[in-house]
Amino acid sequence: MRSVKLNPEYFFNRELGILAFNRRVLAQAEDERVPLLERLKFLCIFSSNMDEFFEVRVAGLKEQIRFNDTTTGPDGMRPRQVFTSVSAEAHALVDHQYKILNEVVLPRLEQEDIKFLRRTQWNATQAEWIREYFFRELMPILTPIGLDPAHPFPRILNKSLNFAVELEGKDAFGRNSGVAVVQAPRALPRVIRLPADIAGCEYGFIFLSSILHAHVGELFSGMQVKGCYQFRVTRDSDLTVDDEDVKDLRIALQGELSHRQYGEGVRLEVADNCPDEMSAFLLGQFGLLQEDLYKVNGLVNLVRLMQIPDSVDRPDLKFAPYSPSLPRELSKETDLFKAIHKADILLHHPYQSFNPVIEFIKQAAEDPHVLAIKQTFYRTSADSTLMQSLIDAARRGKEVTVVVELMARFDEEANINWAAKLEKAGAHVVYGVVGHKTHAKMAMVVRREDGKLKRYVHLSTGNYHQRTARLYTDFGLMTCHEEICADVNDVFAQLTGLGKATKLKHLWQSPFTLHSKLIKAIYHEAEMAKSGKKARIIAKMNALLDADIIRALYDASSAGVKIDLIVRGVCALRPGIVGVSENITVRSIVGRFLEHSRIFYFYNEGEENVYMASADWMYRNFFRRIEVCFPLLDSKVKKRVIKEGLEPYLKDNLNTWEMQADASYRRRTARRGYEFSAQQQLMAELGQSFATE
């Protein structure tokens, strides 16, 4: 069929799309319906997101500019154009973040007797307690560095807290450089709670930066401190490993990790009281320009305020406690293999517990009838119970194979450590395929039953990470369907061995079939629409960027297919363009939980095919990663996913942002008397306890 002629105006830039998502996160901190301490958390989450954005995306842009790369993406923008737009938007967002903090969140917290005491507010008793704290806890481990020919500007760790100190006078050796640097060790808390009787309130906190500002002169005996200014540099943190030259990926990565903290500078944050001369001096030290400078009205690292909600026992200022439930199939049957043998089991996290996944591997490790366990890991926790069970299984003599993705960004070190522990226990550890990250979420257990081998698998849209399973929405499927299990076994064979890709019966796999199968399914709906039949596509994911997929969706829309996209993060497709995408809607849900599941629905002449996947609709997921997309063959499971994973999100009018044709997002407003939150509804339906957010 005829393809829509693609113009750059039909695509929204990826980097600007990421910032648009972060603006939606920031809006949660302004939302009066969100409890106050949770609003503080959203400010911290925004800061963390922006850190990663600079470490990876802006770092990549700056590298392209440095090498005079003028390549344009589908949106037609060159790297320098993108950077200029990104810089303006990022500065505006950060300014707005601090305005929310200083004018809304902190004053409201103070009204609730949760105070952050500034130096100008300290009374004599508080000042004395803080002075004693400085000499007892801080001064012994601080190392002031005066700058002179023998003491050049120190190496500054990525995202660390530092202070530039202006000095006057000569030291014991007659030196007078005028400038020193004090680095705050990462072991030091950034926020210190005062005793209630000293603070004058139940929860009184002092910033580490305030203590250092007050007593930094103690580090420079006999010299006058003219100024003290906190600063923080963000560095390029993307690791690169030469696929062709690498002989041992783990060793190569271990060598790279030590350099991550000292990559090229990409952003400098300073307090807004920092003089222009000092800012210029610091920019010069990191090879940065004025456009890379962010002056902030407060702490230069708000991420560290994430500890505050956990330190404050005020349930009324937090989301109501929530306890996930167990699926009905597991409420009485504790033997997972018996339960799975009866019927497929669907798990919907965090509304339903992650414990069955943990039990699946734990029972397999302890079951004498289990011969082998195979599992992939992309991200997991440092105290992973799943990993411990695999180690236990290996020690019991079972055949344990674990595919650990060493190139999972910012989790490389943790994954290397787990790989070493698994190998020590006797497990087979492989790192997938060099050049293709293993992003598929699969576990397979081989069990002897009645003299025959029986396979059981778990497939998921999310990571095997028990902590994030309480915060991210994901689906998991447990099945012993023979053909699905055979497909999973073939994918594991690809990851651990050598050979041609086999034809899978049910699974769509990257980098081989997922992209083409999705495009085929989209065009099938288009053909149905052209022939006058009902056609519908609903897709939920984290990101939509692939140009070929977007072209297919535009073609389907032009043919009359009704398309609803639920894209939590960046979306390059623009809905509502006349003659191109007027049949497409794009929604983004931002709420208590982070929407993470990937679900693809195709009406397919009434068959209603539903797939779930580990992959977003991005080029990297289709061609540079090992991903699996699996169909829901059990009709009850399929209905549940439609009912829980898609329909509520199309009705949501509390946490929904609708993308406009100009790529801006507008928050959906509830009709009078009808407010509906998908997340609240699912908590009510699936959880053990529920209270309105």
Among 463, 518, 159, 91, which residue's Cα sits nearest to residue 304? 159
**Helices 208-215 and 124-133, axial angle in degrees (round to 10):** 90
- DSSP strand pairing (144-146 vs 179-183): antiparallel
Q: Is 656 exposed, middle or buried (0-12, 13-18, 19+ CB in 10 A)?
A: buried
Provide DSSP, 139-190: GGG--EEE-BTTBPPPP--TT--EEEEEEES--TTS---SEEEEE--TTS-S
Specify the 3-state DSSP secondary structure of 245: coil
Determine the average pLDDT of the residues in 301-324: 95
C-alpha 291/C-alpha 300 separation (Å) is 17
Angle in degrees, CA 675, 681, 682, rounded to 5: 155
Please answer whether residues 411 and 253 qualify as being in contact, where contact means their C-beta atoms are separated by less than 8 angstroms.
Answer: no
Length of the chain: 693
Residue 595's closest CA among 568, 629, 571? Answer: 568
Q: Which residue has the higher pLDDT, 414 or 492?
A: 492
10-317: CATH, from 3.30.43.10, 3.30.1840.10, 3.30.530.20, 1.20.990.10: 3.30.1840.10
> Would you state the pLDDT for residue 689?
44
Cα dist from 511 to 246, 461, 498, whole Å? 21, 17, 16
Strands 536-541 and 562-567, bridge-based pairing: parallel
For the residues 328-344, what does the mean pLDDT come to?
Answer: 94
Q: What is the per-residue pLDDT for 382?
A: 85
Q: Which residue has the tokens 């990851």?
A: 495
Looking at domain 509-686, its CATH architecture is 2-Layer Sandwich (3.30)
Mean pLDDT along residues 68-87: 95
Q: How confident is the model at residue 691 (pLDDT cuts 50, 70, 90)?
A: very low
Residue 246's pLDDT band (cuts 50, 70, 90)? very low
Contact 291, 87 (CB under 8 A): yes
pLDDT of residue 368: 97
For residue range 165-207, list pLDDT tens digits in order. Answer: 999 877 655 656 689 999 999 889 999 999 999 999 999 999 9
Mean pLDDT of the chain, nearest integer? 92
Tokens representing 502? Answer: 């086999």
Residue 606 pLDDT more than 50? Answer: yes
In 584-642, alpha helices (H): 619-623, 635-641
Residues recognised as catalytic = 439
Using alpha carbons only, how large is the chain's radius of gyration in Å?
27
Structure-model confidence comparison of residues 1 and 429, the more confident one = 429
Query: Are 464 and 386 a contacting pair, CB within 8 Å?
Result: yes
pLDDT band, very low/low/confident/very high, at 239 (cuts 50, 70, 90)? low
Q: Is the pLDDT of residue 240 over 60?
A: no
Phi and psi at 498, nearest 5°, equal -130, 155
pLDDT of residue 332: 87
CA-based nearest residue to 44, from 57, 30, 16, 25: 25
Range list of H helices, 477-538? 482-496, 514-530
Q: DSSP of 246-277, one letter per residue?
A: -S-HHHHHHHHHHHHTTS-EEEEEEETTS-HH
DSSP at 643: I
Residue limits of CATH 3.30.1840.10 in the chain: 10-317
Mean pLDDT score, 368-375: 98
Give residue 3's pLDDT.
Answer: 72
Nearest to 127 by CA among 199, 23, 233, 208: 199
Note if the bond before 152 is cis, omega within 30 degrees.
Answer: no
Q: Which residues of 462-488 are buried (b: 16+ CB within 10 A; e: fewer)?
A: bbbbbebbeebbbbbbbbbbeebbbbb
Burial (CB count <10 Å: 0-12, 13-18, 19+), residue 532: exposed
| Mean pLDDT to the nearest integer, 300-321 | 95
Q: Are strands 293-296 and 345-349 parallel, antiparallel or unpaired?
A: unpaired
Q: In degrees rounded to 5, what are phi and psi of residue 335? A: -80, 105
Where along the chain do the CATH 3.30.870.10 domains lie? 328-500, 509-686
| Other CB atoms within 10 A of residue 157 CB | 17
Instruction: With a cut of 70, say whether residue 339 has pLDDT above it.
Output: yes
Q: Which structure tokens are listed for 119?
A: 């130096």
pLDDT band at 25 (very low <50, low <70, confident <90, very high): very high
- pLDDT > 90? residue 472: yes
**Contact indicator for 337, 456 with CB cutoff of 8 Å:** yes
pLDDT of 143 > 50? The answer is yes
Q: Distances in Å between the alpha carbon of 325 and those of 120, 479, 551, 688, 689? A: 50, 20, 41, 5, 9
The whole-angstrom separation of Cα 27 and Cα 21 is: 10
DSSP state of 103: I
Q: How far apart are CA 244 and CA 254, in angstroms?
A: 17
In the predicted model, is pLDDT for residue 531 greater than 50? yes
| Distance, CA of 537 to chain centre | 27
Distance between CA 427 and CA 389 in Å, rounded?
A: 11
> How far is it, in rounded angstroms, from Cα 292 to Cα 270?
11
- Selected residue with higher pLDDT from 163 and 502: 163
Q: Which of 146-150, 358-362, 429-433, 646-650 has the lowest mean pLDDT?
A: 146-150
Predicted local confidence at residue 464, as pLDDT:
96
Q: Which CATH class is domain 328-500?
A: alpha beta
Quick one: pLDDT at residue 177? 66
How confident is the model at residue 690, as a pLDDT?
37
Structure tokens that stand for 395 in this block: 């020690």
DSSP string, 446-487: EEEETTEEEEEEEEESS-S-TTGGGTEEEEEEEE--HHHHHH
Q: Following DSSP, what letter does each residue of 361-418 receive, concatenated? A: HHHHHH-TTEEEEEEEESS--TT-HHHHHHHHHHHTT-EEEEEE-TTSTT-HHHHHHH
pLDDT value of residue 692 = 35
Instruction: Give the pLDDT of residue 149.
Output: 61
